[in-house]
């Protein structure tokens, strides 16, 4: 099975065997991180990181991954070029993508909710780049999906229920109860990370529960895919507006704020309105008392954590918190992904 040249925009578009190939290699690379086996895979090759939105973990992890594979990660923002938008003339994606592909072995793009005029526009842009570029396009987070985060999440969960760092057991996740709960917060977060978590949890044979206030449902297509994934494995998917019920018997708790489906008006994300709306729903914070209702669950979060709103410090920094392990795993899954898609290896 070769993944060379394959775009990575959403995990749902890859076969489970392909996802497992990345995850298995990531674990091997984590166990033997600085082995000479990996240090020349991308020798003399460049990975372009095109950031519409900044990120601590994404930039650092991709740069480190490229370096450890013997390659180079080049940072770029839209201000470095003159690109066509709805409001200004400039270079089209057709032209930009084909020129970029002449220079680099892969292109990563990060574009989130505040840089697009409507939900899904960022994902559409990535797919247009994928159409024109003949090198792999890697989604570094768009307004619908964050597939690299999803892989890091599930690797971390499987390590906690497996043999520890570098020893994930994905079979141990089958039948586990995954709770994704909306949370209060003042960051007006996009849907990409939580939707990536729903898709990967359901692909790996988990029971999935989404808890949210009325009016905070996620993408209907992602709900449909999650339902199909769970049904195919014989497990359950449910959505509830109960703030506490989903914690009962949960094995993994993911607490995160996200915007409502009405977040855009007149082509602009209404960030302050979304923050004010979210703060009107108190009592959606993950606390030690709620975690005590679980089956000794681990706490998971893609970071940055809005401490005190999404989750208390006691939980986020507690002995069952997987947040730092998962942040580290961004490096390992991306390193494996780059090795497999950017080199015929």
Cβ neighbors of 333 (< 8 A, separation 6 or more) are: 22, 23, 26, 148, 151, 152, 155
- The answer, yes or no, to whether residue 184 has pLDDT greater than 80, is yes
**Domain boundaries, position 221:** 147-326
Query: What average pLDDT does the chain have?
Result: 96
* 125 shares its domain with 152: no
* 77 shares its domain with 107: yes
Q: Name the nearest CA neighbour of 19 among 336, 255, 292, 252.
A: 336
pTM: predicted TM-score of the whole model, two decimal places? 0.97
* Phi-psi domain of 270 (left: phi exceeds 0; alpha: psi -120 through 50; beta: other): beta
Kindly state whether residue 5 falls inside one of the protein's structural domains.
no
Domains: count for the chain:
2
Q: How far is CA 36 from the centre of its chain?
A: 29
Q: Name the nearest CA neighbour of 330 among 11, 51, 59.
A: 59
Average confidence (pLDDT) over 187-202: 96
- Would you state the pLDDT for residue 86? 62
Query: pLDDT tens for residues 53-112?
Result: 999 999 999 999 999 999 999 999 998 777 756 666 778 999 999 999 999 999 999 999
Model confidence band, residue 13 (pLDDT cutoffs 50, 70, 90)? very high
Model confidence band, residue 152 (pLDDT cutoffs 50, 70, 90)? very high
Kindly state whether residue 22 falls inside one of the protein's structural domains.
yes
> Which pair of structure tokens corresponds to residue 297?
């669950």
Cα 205–229–129 angle (5° rounding)?
Answer: 115
* 135 shares its domain with 190: no
Question: Within 13 A of 89's CA, how many CA atoms are on the CB side?
Answer: 0
* 167 shares its domain with 217: yes
* 229 shares its domain with 293: yes
- The answer, yes or no, to whether residue 317 has pLDDT greater than 70, is yes
* 131 shares its domain with 53: yes
* 310 shares its domain with 335: no
Average confidence (pLDDT) over 228-247: 97
Average confidence (pLDDT) over 292-306: 97
Give the CATH number of the domain where residue 49 resides.
3.40.50.1370
Average confidence (pLDDT) over 2-23: 98
* 110 shares its domain with 234: no
Report yes or no: 255 and 311 within 8 Å, Cβ to Cβ: yes
Tell me which long-range contacts 124-133 makes (C-beta under 8 A, separation of at least 24).
125/93, 126/9, 127/9, 128/93, 128/94, 128/97, 129/93, 129/96, 129/97, 130/7, 130/9, 131/97, 132/93, 132/94, 132/97, 132/98, 132/101, 133/97, 133/98, 133/100, 133/101, 133/107
* 206 shares its domain with 223: yes
* 26 shares its domain with 104: yes
Kindly state whether residue 2 falls inside one of the protein's structural domains.
no
More confident residue, 89 or 294: 294
- Would you state the pLDDT for residue 88? 65
Model confidence band, residue 249 (pLDDT cutoffs 50, 70, 90)? very high
* 19 shares its domain with 90: yes
* 121 shares its domain with 175: no
Kindly state whether residue 76 falls inside one of the protein's structural domains.
yes
Kindly state whether residue 205 falls inside one of the protein's structural domains.
yes
Report yes or no: 232 and 15 within 8 Å, Cβ to Cβ: no
Cα–Cα distance, 256 to 305 (Å, whole number): 8
Report yes or no: 148 and 337 within 8 Å, Cβ to Cβ: yes
Tell me the percentage of the chain whose pLDDT exceeds 70. Answer: 98
Cα 122–238–231 angle (5° rounding)?
Answer: 85
- Would you state the pLDDT for residue 275? 93
Kindly state whether residue 208 falls inside one of the protein's structural domains.
yes
Kindly state whether residue 196 falls inside one of the protein's structural domains.
yes
- Would you state the pLDDT for residue 344? 86
Q: Name the nearest CA neighbour of 52 among 138, 141, 148.
A: 141
- Tokens 């095109």 -> residue: 50
Kindly state whether residue 109 falls inside one of the protein's structural domains.
yes
């Amino acid at each position: 099975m070769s993944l060379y040249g394959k775009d990575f925009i959403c995990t749902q578009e890859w076969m489970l065997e392909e996802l497992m190939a990345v995850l298995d290699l990531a674990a091997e690379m984590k166990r033997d991180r600085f082995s000479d086996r990996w240090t020349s895979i991308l020798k003399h090759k460049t990975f372009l990181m095109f950031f519409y939105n900044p990120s601590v973990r994404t930039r650092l992890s991709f740069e480190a991954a490229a370096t450890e594979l013997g390659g180079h990660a080049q940072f770029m923002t839209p201000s470095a070029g003159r690109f066509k938008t709805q409001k200004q003339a400039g270079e089209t994606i057709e032209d930009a993508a084909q020129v970029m592909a002449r220079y680099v072995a892969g292109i990563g793009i990060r574009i989130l909710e505040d840089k697009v005029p409507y939900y899904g526009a960022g994902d559409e842009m990535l797919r247009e780049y994928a159409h024109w570029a003949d090198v792999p396009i890697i989604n570094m987070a768009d307004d619908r999906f964050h597939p690299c985060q999803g892989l890091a999440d599930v690797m971390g969960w499987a390590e906690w229920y497996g043999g520890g760092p570098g020893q994930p057991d994905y079979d141990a996740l089958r039948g586990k109860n995954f709770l994704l709960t909306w949370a209060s917060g003042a960051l007006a977060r996009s849907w990409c990370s939580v939707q990536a978590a729903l898709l990967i949890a359901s692909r790996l044979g988990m029971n999935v529960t989404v808890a949210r206030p009325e009016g905070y449902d996620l993408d209907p297509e992602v709900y449909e895919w999650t339902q199909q994934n769970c049904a195919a494995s014989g497990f359950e998917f449910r959505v509830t507006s109960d703030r506490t019920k989903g914690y009962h018997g949960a094995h993994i708790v993911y607490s995160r704020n996200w915007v409502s489906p009405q977040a855009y008006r007149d082509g602009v994300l209404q960030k302050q309105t979304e923050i004010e709306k979210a703060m009107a729903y108190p009592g959606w914070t993950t606390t030690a008392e709620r975690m005590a209702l679980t089956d000794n669950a681990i706490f998971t979060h893609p970071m940055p954590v809005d401490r005190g709103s999404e989750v208390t410090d006691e939980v986020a920094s507690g002995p069952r918190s997987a947040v730092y392990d998962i942040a580290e795993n961004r490096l390992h899954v991306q390193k494996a992904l780059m090795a497999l898609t950017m080199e015929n290896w």
